Each structure stands twice: as C-alpha cells, then as structure tokens.
C-alpha cells in the first residue's frame, strides 16, 4: 500500500504533464489544420510594428539645419496693423534664436540636448527609439504605439489561452511558470504602452505637446496665457484631423497671432 501511495502522485504528475503537452499542441491546431488567417495576421502585425519602430527611430523628426531668416517674416504672414494688435510679449518671438546652435527657432520648436539639434514642434526625446519625437514623426510614433499595443494584447491573449490546469498550485507553477512570467511581462508592457498612447492622444486632441504640457510656465509664448488657455487649440475634432490627416509644416506663428488678435 505504501508503494502504491508513492506511485499514485507520480502517475498523476505524468498524466498532468501529458495533458499540458496536449493543450500546447492545441494552440497550433489552426496552423496544423490549415487555418492560417490569424497566424498570418499576427505575424504581419508584428512585422508592421518592427517596421514602424525603425521608421520612427531613423526618421528626421523635424531638425532645423539651416537659418532661413529671409522667409521667416513671409511665413509669419503678419502685417504692420496686426503687429500693433499682438501683445508685446509675442513680438520678440520672431527674432528668437537658439542659444546652442544659434539658429532661428520657429514657434513650438526646442533644442534637444541629446540630438544636439532644434526640432520643429518638439514633443520629447524618446530613449526607447533613440530619437526625438517632433513634427515629422509624431503621428508615426502614435501609430507605432497603437500597433504595438495591439501586438501586446494579442500576445497576452495567446499566453492566457496557453495556461494549463493542475490539481495543486505547485504542479500548476511547475507547468506554467515560464508562461506566467512572460504573461506578466507582456501585461506590464501593455499597460505602459496603453498609458503612453492615451496620454499622447489626449495631448493631440488639445493640440499641445508633452514639452508644452510639462513646461508651460517656462515657455515664453505660453506663460502669459491662462491655465486653461491654449492658443493652438482649434477643437478636438479639428486638432485630430490636422494631426493625422494634414501633411506638411504648419506655420504656428499664424495660428498663434490669429488667436491673439481674436482675443484683442
């Protein structure tokens, strides 16, 4: 009887391990049965995510490489009559020069200490992509976050369906320990990406940047505005449309001065 008592748990463990293997093989049932739609879509989504990562990392975020002061006054589009209506705090912005690269900075641009360049519509410097997020790659960065979130959530779902059952926690952890670690890591990454995507979409809907949101009190063209006042805000729908669907550089001086003129 003692021998039978010792043998029975080992038999149960072997039977449980066999069940886990059978369950693992069931995860590949679609592939083995020729149903390749979901596997191919998942692989394509991962490839798109990788391509977007390299695109955002290698893309020019909007570096200011030359001093085009001759057409700065033209892009401002401000007449002498309008200049009298502009508050005194905004007149000096037309002659703003970067203290590091000594180039004239268009409105909403900032010098990045890491990249050693001024960036148009500077949002932030992302260490994950080792590049700045600015005017030219910001929409692609948001798209990358959205695709990455889909990949992570899909991967979390695959990990969840791979868990097996066991009569005790010890056996369950022995069979699913590695998968549990991967699932927890993917869940944490999903939460981080979700928070990043949500915060960027929120700022985009307000037509503001991370830098402007965090350093509003130190920015010359915003510190004189009210706490809830944003001279670039044109409504959530218009802001989202302009961010995702309008290509090309925006002359933010015109938007800012027009808002300032309306207020006067």
Per residue in 56-88, pLDDT tens?
999 999 999 887 644 444 344 444 443 343 344
Domain ranges of the chain: 19-263
| Helical pair 138-161 and 236-245, crossing angle rounded to 10 deg | 90
Find the mean pLDDT for residues 18-46. Answer: 65
Cα–Cα distance list, 101 to 66, 105, 124 (Å): 10, 10, 18
- Alpha carbon separation from 261 to 82, 88, 121, 154, 208 (Å, rounded): 7, 12, 22, 50, 20
Residue 115 annotated as catalytic:
no
Catalytic residue among 112, 118, 126, 132: 126
The pLDDT value recorded for residue 32 is: 65
* Amino acid 255: pLDDT: 81
The CA distance from 114 to 98, in Å, is 15
Q: Locate all alpha helices (DSSP H) within the chain, ordered by sequence.
A: 2-26, 29-32, 37-58, 72-76, 80-85, 88-91, 138-161, 169-205, 210-214, 236-245, 252-263
Q: Mark residue 246 as left, alpha or beta (left: phi above 0; alpha: psi -120 to 50; beta: remaining).
A: beta
**Residue-level pLDDT at 74:** 38
* Average pLDDT rounded to a whole number, residues 105-118: 91
Residue 102: is its pLDDT beyond 60?
Answer: yes
Q: Which residue has the higher pLDDT, 200 or 11?
A: 200
pLDDT at residue 3 greater than cutoff 70: no
Query: Residue 110 and residue 170: Cα distance in Å, rounded?
Result: 55
Looking at residue 97, its pLDDT comes to 83
Position 127 confidence tier, pLDDT thresholds 50, 70, 90: very high
Q: Has residue 217 got a pLDDT over 60?
A: yes
Confidence of residue 181 (pLDDT cuts 50, 70, 90): confident
């Amino acid at each position: 009887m003692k021998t039978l008592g010792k043998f029975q748990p080992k038999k149960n463990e072997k039977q449980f391990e066999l069940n886990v293997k059978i369950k693992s093989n069931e995860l590949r049932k679609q592939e083995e049965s020729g149903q390749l739609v979901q596997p191919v879509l998942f692989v394509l989504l991962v490839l798109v995510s990788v391509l977007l990562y390299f695109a955002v990392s290698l893309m020019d975020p909007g570096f200011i490489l030359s001093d085009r002061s001759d057409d700065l006054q033209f892009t401002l589009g401000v007449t002498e009559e309008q200049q009298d209506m502009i508050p005194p705090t905004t007149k000096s912005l037309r002659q703003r020069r970067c203290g590091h690269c000594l180039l004239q900075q268009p409105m909403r641009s900032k010098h990045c200490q890491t990249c050693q360049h001024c960036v148009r519509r500077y949002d932030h410097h992302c260490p994950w992509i080792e590049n700045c997020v600015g005017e030219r790659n910001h929409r692609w960065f948001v798209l990358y976050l959205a695709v990455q979130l889909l990949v992570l959530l899909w991967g979390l779902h695959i990990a969840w369906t791979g868990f097996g059952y066991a009569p005790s926690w010890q056996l369950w952890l022995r069979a699913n320990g590695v998968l549990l670690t991967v699932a927890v890591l993917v869940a944490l990454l999903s939460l981080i990406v979700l928070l990043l995507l949500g915060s960027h979409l929120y700022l985009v809907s307000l037509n503001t940047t991370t830098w402007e949101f965090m350093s509003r009190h130190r920015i010359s063209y915003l510190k004189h505005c009210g706490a809830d006042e944003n001279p670039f805000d044109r409504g959530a729908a218009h802001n989202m449309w302009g961010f995702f669907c309008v290509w090309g550089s925006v002359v933010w001086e015109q938007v800012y001065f027009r808002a300032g003129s309306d207020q006067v």
